[in-house]
Structure formats: structure tokens, C-alpha cells
Amino acid sequence: MADESESSRAAYQRLVKVSEETTIREELRTWLSRTPIHGSSPDDDGDEAVVRNFVEEHLATTSALHESALQHFADIGQTDIEKIGARFAASLEGAREFLLPDGQVDRARAGLLFIESYRDLPLLAWPRALVDSVVEMEQSMLLFRTHHARMVERMIGRRVGTGGSSGVDYLDATTKMRIFTDLWAVRTLLIKRSELPPVKKPEAYGFRG
């Protein structure tokens, strides 16, 4: 492309420049990592311990809810308790790996979980609205790709696409591609608000005069 014409070279240079800039996803992670968790910010003394305690407490609460659900299934005569227990165990392990990859706290993901869990706090209202707007934007992109693939299939079936691509198969593959994967994945980790541990330092999240 860079060798075809002057306009192509200019377009190529623009693409190179854009590829070197910080992405929205990277900026979003940086922003999420600054989320105050239980009143603690990244620059505060002891912040790492506060965030780790939040994560471990959330995982412990999740585990307790799983145990309660398993007991309920046993009480009503559910026969495949072992399979259900294995699913719960896999879910809990997935949550742990999401929040503590390689055993280290991922502060951006912890911040995201805190925002989603305590979304009713005044200070977290607009951060949560922003997160939801990004998810809504990506959802619109996924729906467009799905509708586009079906339109193409209706018009040309599954013949080879323009440029020798696999056509509809390629378009279908794009419907599985997501940019903001963490924003979707965190939804799996959420627990009922009635089961959430109380926020520490709630005054840090209220309205200020």
C-alpha cells in the first residue's frame, strides 16, 4: 500500500501514526485503575492491601453464595449436585483469575468491579454510566456485524468473498471479536446487592457541598 501512490503513502502514514497512539481501551484501563476502592486511591498508603482485601472479600462472598445454592439444590432433591458444584468451582476460579491474574491484583479490573457493584453511590454514578455507554457502543457494533453477515448471506450465500476471503464465514467470525472484554466479563462476577459487604468510608462517595 505504501508504494502504490502518493495518496496511498499518505494514508499508510496516517495509519502508522494512529497505531502508535494510546487506544481507548488503554485509556479506559488507566482511568479504571484510579477508581477509589473503599475510599482508597492508588497513591494512598496501604492501597494495595485495601484493594486485595476487597477482592478476597468479594471472592469469599461469592464462594459462600455458591455453597448456599448447592445446599438448596440438595434440599430440593437435585441429582447432579457434583456437576453443579464443578460449574460453581470453575466460575469461582475464573473470577479469581480475572481479578488476580498470576496472583497479582489487577487494579483496573478491581476498580471496574467496585463501580459495577456499588453503582448507586453518588460518586460512582457517572463512572458507571460511562462504562455502560461503552458496552452499549460495542453491543451496537456486534449487532451491526451480525446484521451485515445475514444481509450478505441472503444476497450471495456462502460463496468466496471479495478479495478471496471466506465471505460470510469471515463476517460471522467478526461477530465474536470484542474490544472491551473486561467490561463484559465483569458482569459474570456481580452478586446481589443485598449480599454485598458494606462500603468502607461511605462518606467518600457521597454528595459534597
User: For 17-49, what is each residue's pLDDT tens digit?
Assistant: 888 889 999 999 999 999 999 999 999 999 999
pLDDT at site 2: 53
Is the predicted pLDDT of residue 208 greater than 90, yes or no? no
Establish if 34 belongs to a structural domain.
Answer: no
Q: Is 152 or 56 the better-scoring residue by pLDDT?
A: 56
DSSP H helical ranges for the chain? 6-19, 24-33, 47-75, 81-99, 107-117, 125-156, 168-174, 181-185
Q: What angle is formed at CA 128 by the lines to CA 126 and CA 133, rounded to 5 degrees?
A: 95
Location of C-alpha cell 453477515 = 149
pLDDT at site 170: 87
Is the predicted pLDDT of residue 59 greater than 70, yes or no? yes
User: How large is the average pLDDT for residues 193-203?
Assistant: 92
Q: What angle is formed at CA 88 by the lines to CA 54 and CA 134, rounded to 5 degrees?
A: 60
Which DSSP state fits 206?
A: S
Q: Give the range of the structural domain holding residue 177, as residue numbers without chain letter.
A: 39-205
Establish if 170 belongs to a structural domain.
Answer: yes
pLDDT at site 11: 84
Establish if 86 belongs to a structural domain.
Answer: yes
Q: Please count the other Cβ atoms lying within 10 Å of the Cβ belonging to residue 23.
A: 11
Is 13 in a helix, a strand, or coil?
A: helix
What whole-number distance in Å separates Cα of residue 209 and Cα of residue 207?
Answer: 7
Mean pLDDT of the chain: 92
Grid cell for residue 24? 481507548
Q: How many domains does the chain have?
A: 1
Establish if 53 belongs to a structural domain.
Answer: yes
* Largest distance between two CA atoms of the chain: 74
Establish if 23 belongs to a structural domain.
Answer: no
* pLDDT tens per residue across span 128-178: 999 999 999 999 999 999 999 999 889 888 887 776 777 888 899 988 999
Establish if 20 belongs to a structural domain.
Answer: no
Establish if 63 belongs to a structural domain.
Answer: yes
Establish if 4 belongs to a structural domain.
Answer: no
